[in-house]
Structure 1
């Protein structure tokens, strides 16, 4: 048997049917009110037949006042529970699990559609890989606001469990709020939430504990964690390994390794010569982590060849192969990997030739392909970069022009 077809038992006893997972990608497919749409749900129905053991959704925001992109889904109350149930049921009748990635963007909330930005410290985002990057100085979160956000993570998680999702993943990478707390570059606090690594990791530990308290021991909780920020003065590889130890001791079920932030987007840059043949961006790091934890490890970023994926799992470097962008171009990818009907999954973006626009194309071009899948169309490898950009610009304008409404009261029941 192809080793990628082997089952994987998580620490809490939950079984994944194989070693292939769709990692989270930005979908940007909610409606104007940040509710899941039929197009989004249908994309997951297509992927449920891909043969993957695990699908992880794109960003689900926990707060309607902190949104990363114009069409992120927001789950902060039970208003859309029936639609969420439809989404969770998209994998019904398959051996595929569907986990919801839950997130708060912190200072990476898009300024064009958010009235204020909140972060651990008042450190503005520099222009980088983040589309529509802002230099606006975020407001410092106070103690009560931090506790409210921790509660919001747990509240969103229990709603998603009730809706029927198989598990949740905390987004702790790529410069979002959890990552901001972990990094000394973005966290210069002098209270119990900053300073030492123990203090900087307090936020993610409390988020995990609060979610676990709500969802119970039989519901999987994973995290996406940076190997490093790739920024001077940022979250280091050594610190990342310490956080892996901390979360493993807490009992987390799956740790997905990624790296970089929108200011230093590691997966859009060059890899070391030593890792090119092994494809994955963070393979050297995960080999070190493998030695310090027995918690299942998932690695995302760069895998494109079946033989390399197979060797990575067979050699026990990691447990789960995370694949993101190829799912947007090859929607039947896991079946093709397992039966080896296709041996590589190279994707090439059609860009505009304008550097300022093309920095965003690494995300929005794939969002457009996901939309095609959800509409019942085939992905289009020749999709125009200009048409993608203009459609995205319209979404931002449309969301910006939306009348501001009062934030809905959360259902605490």
Structure 2
């Protein structure tokens, strides 16, 4: 069993417990960027099941940066009202709502003119040109404007998506960034765009508007140097007034199904050496996993695929109904929505098949 009654006080937010729904793309949005009734129902179910903070799936901040056909958008004022509705729904259950904002970079599907941090050849004979400083300025302003729209919607803050090979993460990581200007080179320069976006949001929305950031804890290139560079990133985030850092990793999809707490050792070391609140996501599957984190210096716990499989898993853990999630870590939740729209989990699909036999 676990307790769900221990609040966590952050700089500007008070969470009813330490549990966060990490951002996962829902595949439930419309093709014109709006939330559907199914999306609102998902938020209602999650907020009814003891989650302190719900982070939305990544929301597109700029045309040319769309990652998914049915991705929720926040690149126009017409999208503000849907976030107000979602926040009001979530707040009814004493949960908080923090949309995640993102730019897909060279993974964008809504443009033929692909750009990346540095020029590179892409799959399927595509090429990405290097972003100019003028283009970077446009992107930076888009993030700031998106955050301001979300503040108008009455959400509880925003999270910058700087992980999983989306654009901001590619600036941070030398795997992708070999620029020779002020946005490339050492970690100070590679984190510069994130820093400028954070400062810009604080200036536009006020110092008390909460900003979180999601970052990879590791890299495919010179991983030990990357880990050392994160000391600068963590200190800079604290200096900039970041509410908390949520750590993920570059290869969570490829982790063995039997493994758990994929990045715990490194993230706990970060937490031991720095006072800014941190959350861990990746392989949190059981009561034992949760108790391991609770015994560490990591203050917050994020769940993603586990909540796709069982939105009520925290309720089950707290009641002693189960000790381990049914999630198979099979990653079919990234494929099955394309085959069976509205369904994310293979176990849900199998159950529906059984019911209709």
Q: Give the TM-score normalised by structure 2.
A: 0.90
Unaligned runs of 5+ in 2: none
1:235 deviates by: 7.4
The equivalent residue for 2:278 is 297
1:138 aligns with 2:128: yes
1:118 aligns with 2:132: no
The equivalent residue for 1:269 is 255
Describe the SS at the equivalent of 1:298. Answer: strand
Deviation by residue 1:252-303 (Cα, 9 ceiling, x = unmatched): 001000010xxxx3442249x9xx4xx2111011121012211111000001
Question: Which range is displaced more, 205-214 or 75-84?
Answer: 75-84
Q: Is the 8 A contact 1:52 1:335 kept in 2?
A: no
1:327 aligns with 2:293: no
The equivalent residue for 2:230 is 240
Distance in structure 2 (CA, Å) of the matches to 1:326 and 1:369: 20
The equivalent residue for 1:39 is 38
Distance in structure 1 (CA, Å) of the matches to 2:90 and 2:270: 32
The equivalent residue for 2:99 is 100
Distance in structure 1 (CA, Å) of the matches to 2:87 and 2:316: 24
Deviation by residue 1:310-335 (Cα, 9 ceiling, x = unmatched): 2311x233111110011112121222
> Superposed, which structure 2 residues align to 1:7-406 within 5 Å?
7-12=7-12, 14-110=13-109, 113-125=110-122, 134-231=124-221, 236-260=226-250, 265-270=251-256, 276=259, 279-313=260-294, 315-348=295-328, 361-365=332-336, 371-372=342-343, 381=347, 383=349
1:109 deviates by: 1.5
Deviation by residue 1:159-215 (Cα, 9 ceiling, x = unmatched): 111112111100011111111111122111111111121111101111111111122
Larger RCO: 1 or 2 (CA < 8 Å, sep 6+): 1
Distance in structure 1 (CA, Å) of the matches to 2:261 and 2:223: 25
Distance in structure 1 (CA, Å) of the matches to 2:337 and 2:287: 21
CA RMSD of aligned residues (A): 2.6
Distance in structure 2 (CA, Å) of the matches to 1:334 and 1:370: 26
Distance in structure 2 (CA, Å) of the matches to 1:89 and 1:369: 29
Name the count of aligned residue pairs: 351
Q: Is the 8 A contact 1:185 1:234 kept in 2?
A: no
Question: Would the alpha carbon gap of residues 2 and 327 (structure 1) be closer, same or farther in structure 2, given more than 3 Å must change?
Answer: closer
Unaligned runs of 5+ in 1: 127-133, 351-359, 374-378, 388-413
Q: Is the 8 A contact 1:34 1:74 kept in 2?
A: yes
Describe the SS at the equivalent of 1:169. Answer: strand
Q: Is the 8 A contact 1:257 1:300 kept in 2?
A: yes
